[in-house]
Amino acid sequence: MADLSELESMIVAALPGASAQIVDQGGGDHLAASVVAPQFAGLTRLEQHKLVYAAVQSRFDDGSIHALALKTRAPEAS
């Protein structure tokens, strides 16, 4: 089971200035995250998602996370 606050901290540490909200979608290992980060400016959604996945990769590797649905955007995007 993933520690949601730890995951949020991991994302913010990897993407300084970001805000992240993570919710459990069932079973503790199926999660959804909404991330707003200045680093996303000018990037495609795929590139944005890769940055977030890289930030929490260790939790995929140890099995804490099985699935992570993402919504990402730069702060100025609506």
| Whole-number pLDDT of residue 63 | 93
Query: pLDDT per residue over 20-33, tens digit each?
Result: 999 999 889 999 99
Residue at 46 is within a domain: yes
Number of domains in the chain: 1
Q: Per the structure block, which two tokens stand in for 17? A: 């200035």
What whole-number distance in Å separates Cα of residue 73 and Cα of residue 65?
A: 22
- Alpha carbon separation from 30 to 17, 38, 50, 73, 78 (Å, rounded): 25, 26, 18, 21, 26
Statement: the pTM of the whole predicted model exceeds 0.95: no
Residue at 78 is within a domain: no
Q: Which domain holds residue 16?
A: 4-73
Kindly report the CATH number assigned to the domain that includes residue 13.
3.30.300.90
What whole-number distance in Å separates Cα of residue 8 and Cα of residue 12?
A: 6
Residue at 66 is within a domain: yes
Sign of the torsion formed by the C-alpha atoms of 50, 55, 59 and 62: positive
Residue at 9 is within a domain: yes
